[in-house]
Amino acid sequence: MRTQVAIVGAGPAGLLLSHLLWMEGIDSIVLENRSRDYVEKRVRAGVCEDPTVKLLREVGLAERLDVEGMPHRGIVLRFDGEDHRIALTDLTGRTITVYGQQEIVKDLIAARLKADAQIHFEVSDVELHDVTGDKPRVTYMDSDGVAHEIQADVIAGCDGFHGISRPSVPDSDLTVYDHVYPFAWLGVLVEAPPANDELIYANHENGFALHSMRTPEVTRLYLQVDPADSLDRWSDARIWDELQTRFAIDGFALHEGPILERLLSPMRSFVVEPMRYGRLFLAGDSAHIVPPTGAKGMNLAVHDVLVLSRALKALLSEGNSDLVDSYSDTCLRRVWRAEQFSYFMTTMLHRDNHADAFQHRLRLAQLRYTASSSAAATSLAENYVGLPFP
């Protein structure tokens, strides 16, 4: 097979890149090792920044989002037994929208298949070849065990943190920045309506908790736990008891219901530089990870592929390499801003059991200042709703 851009990974990054390239008349082939059913049901991020929503509208992908998405004009910081609202829209003029990553993936797959795009699910043994030359190749086995080769001008590695794209780059050609936090998140998806119209970030002496949602009927809840913990130690009763404790203030109670899904996730920040190796370009989680506290992961991937689509258009349609040469630096400026904001939110809101009493008091002081200072609240709001895309 021959294509201009071979894309590894059918998550939001790979699919959106394929769509953006298609709009510019550039063909692509997308490879995915999971089934279509799996990727369309894989519950991940749920907060879309303002520039992400605007981009999806501009490229014709927001029909369902505008009907089913839930715009939010603020978030709540809960500490000292009280709620402290950060009025995102009043402070910035913009909003966030809660719309699940899996819903964006469904919209993208439908749009790409309507345009007769090539998306190959359930592939295996994917390998990248000759990425430092001008004719890179991808080999793989399809779902029937038949071997294939794709000849391309460019390869886009959009296959996530555990994918094969980043390991295809020699270690000597990458600088890795890795920070592991001393806590993890236990996340549950619950069949019950949200107990609040906006996200609640709760700071409690037992640890952090987050109240979020996916639909008006489904709530997403998180508990800070020890990284060495295991799911089998958390019964439904224990989960609900701890959630009710950490969110407790006068007049508030969570809506309990059947737990549909539970997941234990370590917290880390991870960045590789550069995000390009020859004709291989890394995007999204294959190049960087942020802790979910700042709601930045999927939004960073969207920015990456927007920048990459413009760069590849200039390279493949006009023979101009300036934008591909600056791709990594352009993306990394936003990545590091998001890393700093996510680190700030994570360290401010979580309780580090390895920290001393002095550090705990500093975190509380930061929370009180953020909630009481219009300047501090505006800085949080500006970063949370998302800095404008270029």
Instruction: Give catalytic residue positions.
Output: 72, 201, 292, 296, 384
Pairing of strands 70-72, 209-215: unpaired
CB atoms within 10 A of CB 59: 16
Give the H or E element holding residue 110. Answer: helix 101-114
Residue with tokens 């989960």, as numbered in its chain: 239
Please give the Cα distance from 348 to 328 (Å, whole number). 30
Phi, psi dihedral angles at 250 (to 5 degrees): -60, 130
- Among 190, 199, 138, residue whose Cα is nearest residue 164: 138
- Determine the Cα–Cα distance for residues 261 and 124; give it in Å rounded to an integer: 27
d(CA 359, CA 362): 5
The DSSP element (H or E) to which 30 belongs, if any, is strand 28-31
DSSP assignment string, 23-43: HTT--EEEE-SS-HHHHHH--
User: Look-up: residue for tokens 């851009």?
Assistant: 5
Which string of DSSP letters, residue by residue, matches 52-65? HHHHHHHTT--HHH
What are phi and psi for residue 212, nearest 5 degrees? -135, -170
Place of tokens 């630096």: 329
Tokens encoding 376: 């501090």
31: helix, coil or strand? strand
Q: Considering only CA atoms, which of 390, 276, 388, 387 is closest in space to residue 328? A: 276
Nearest to 179, CA basis, from 356, 300, 336, 44: 336
Q: Which residues have CB under 8 Å from 340's CB, separation 6+? A: none
CB 31 within 8 A of CB 140: yes
Decide: 88 and 381 in contact? Cβ < 8 Å. Answer: yes
